[in-house]
Each structure stands twice: as C-alpha cells, then as structure tokens.
C-alpha cells in the first residue's frame, strides 16, 4: 500500500492524492518514487483513461520539495528520473492528467500542476515559483512550462520575482482552466474528467501528443509530422465505432483500441 499518497479508481478514472498534509504535501524522494510507480501503473493500465492528482487537506496541493528533509540529508538525495510526483519529467504518457489544486501550489507543487493537462483550482489556491528567493531556480520544468502556458511577459513577471498568484489571477493569465469553491473542487475535476471520458480515448491521446509535440514547430511541419498516437487512433477499432454510432444515433461504445 502507498505510504505517502492514496489512490482510488472510479471506472476509467484514477484519483491520486498526495498525502503528507503535516508538511503541506511537500514531497521528498520516497514520496516521489512512490508516485512514480503510481503513474507508471496508470500509464500501463488499459482500463484507466484519465487521472486526477490533488493534495490531502484544505491547506495545500503541494508546497513542492521538502526542504527540511533535503537539509537533514545534507543535500545528498536520490533524484527521481520522472521528477516531482513522478510527473514533471514524464514525457511518455499520452493519457490526460488533471490537477485539482486545493490550496498552496508552490515551487515543485506548481510545477506538478503545470505538468498536468488541465488545472482546476479552488478559490483559496495560490501559485508561485519562489525558488529565486531562496537561491534556487524552478528546475523541474517551471521555467519552461510556464512561458509555454501563458504570454512570455506574464511568465517572466512570475519567474523573476517569485510572486504569488491567486487562483483568479491564474485563470485570467490562462494557466488555470476553472476556479471553484473549495468544497466543489474534486467534483469539478471529476466533471472535466467525465467530459474527457465521453470522447474516444485514442482520439484524446492523439490530440494530446500532437498538441505537445507540435508546439513550437512551424505549422506546416507540425501538421505533416508523424505522431504515434495518431497512427494508433487511425488503426484502432474506435476509429470506426465513432462514425457508426453517429449514423445509428446511439452513444458510442469506446474500447480504447
């Protein structure tokens, strides 16, 4: 059984909760390796199509790296190859992951959220990459993902100052998809997941891979590029099931293959 997180399955949906509320869900190497295994299993399980990640309690999604643990270890720590929560350096998962941010998302915690495909935030959520204020830098993807998520000047305003951004400002800037009351957060994330699950899973994965891999390329090059998930979609049974269901005026029965 996981020690530093909890997991629950609901049909095709996996909900993962970082469970270190006593340190605002800050993560240390044992937690990161545990979460890496959770998301390895999610990516490999053909019965799971969408995941939600959130934090235990109402104070924090994740305060990022557990600096006290780092200090006690003298800086000699095992580095997880898949990054914070097994997500920030994971580039081979075509399945959607939703961040349900239930409070503070600082440093590595914000980088976890940025590594997800959607960010749903509670009204009390706060985002920041404060590493420069303690002589560090957002090395788990924050320096690169944030400028890809919002206009460069807005991203630099956060990166160079380490300032805190509210959920509402995050929505206005464009890195948050929806802001809801704290009590409605998980329900809202589940609602987004349900909408994704209405779609053909191979189509969703083809869309995700194409959007990310095509980003930054000239348009013609991006459109002509070869994407493994697009090939899988075209060869899959669901590629025929969708038009057939439409013609027969019935809901599609997706198989994910």
**Could you tell me which of 66, 80, 59, 62 has the C-alpha nearest to residue 16?**
62
Question: Whole-prediction pTM value?
Answer: 0.96
Confidence check: pLDDT of 256 > 70? yes
What pLDDT does 134 receive? 87
Confidence check: pLDDT of 72 > 90? no
Of 22, 131, 198, 215, catalytic: 131
Percentage of residues in the chain with pLDDT exceeding 70? 98
What pLDDT does 67 receive? 83
- What is d(CA 77, CA 71) in angstroms, rounded to the nearest whole number? 10
Of 36, 111, 237, 248, catalytic: 111
Predicted confidence band of residue 234 (pLDDT cuts 50, 70, 90): very high
How many other CB atoms sit within 10 Å of the CB of residue 221?
10
Give the residue-averaged pLDDT of 80-102: 96
Give the residue-averaged pLDDT of 124-134: 96
Of how many residues is the chain composed?
257
Question: What is the DSSP secondary-structure string of 182-204?
Answer: GGGHHHHHHHHHHHHHTS-HHHH
Rg of the chain in Å (alpha carbons)? 19
- What is d(CA 111, CA 142) in angstroms, rounded to the nearest whole number? 5
Give the residue-averaged pLDDT of 138-164: 97
Task: Determine whether 36 is an active site residue.
Answer: no
DSSP code for 27: B
DSSP code for 238: H
Predicted confidence band of residue 80 (pLDDT cuts 50, 70, 90): confident
Confidence check: pLDDT of 78 > 90? no
Confidence check: pLDDT of 79 > 80? no
How many other CB atoms sit within 10 Å of the CB of residue 175?
23
Task: Determine whether 111 is an active site residue.
Answer: yes
Confidence check: pLDDT of 168 > 80? yes
Task: For residue 104, list its beta bridge partners.
Answer: 60, 126
């Amino acid at each position: 059984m996981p020690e530093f997180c909890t997991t629950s399955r609901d049909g095709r949906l996996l909900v993962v909760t970082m469970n270190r509320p006593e340190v605002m869900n800050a993560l240390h190497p044992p937690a990161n390796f545990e979460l890496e295994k959770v998301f390895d299993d999610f990516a490999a399980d053909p019965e799971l199509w969408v995941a939600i990640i959130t934090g235990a309690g109402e104070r924090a999604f994740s305060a990022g790296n557990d600096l006290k643990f780092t200090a006690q270890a003298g800086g000699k720590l095992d580095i997880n190859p898949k990054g914070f929560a097994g997500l920030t350096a994971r580039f081979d998962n075509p399945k959607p992951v939703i961040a349900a941010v239930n409070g503070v998302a600082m440093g590595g915690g914000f980088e976890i959220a940025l590594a997800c495909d959607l960010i749903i935030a509670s009204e009390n959520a706060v985002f920041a990459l404060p590493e420069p204020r303690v002589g560090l830098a957002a090395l788990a993807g924050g320096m690169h993902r944030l400028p890809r998520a919002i206009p460069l000047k807005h991203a630099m305003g956060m990166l160079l100052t380490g300032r805190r951004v509210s959920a509402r400002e995050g929505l206005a800037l464009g890195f948050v998809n929806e802001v809801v009351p704290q009590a409605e957060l998980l329900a809202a994330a589940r609602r987004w997941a349900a909408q994704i699950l209405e779609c053909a899973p191979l189509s969703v994965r083809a869309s995700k891979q194409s959007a990310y891999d095509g980003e930054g390329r000239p348009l013609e090059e991006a459109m002509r590029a070869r994407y493994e998930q697009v090939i899988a979609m075209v060869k899959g049974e669901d590629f025929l099931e969708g038009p057939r269901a439409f013609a027969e005026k019935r809901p599609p029965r997706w198989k994910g293959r």
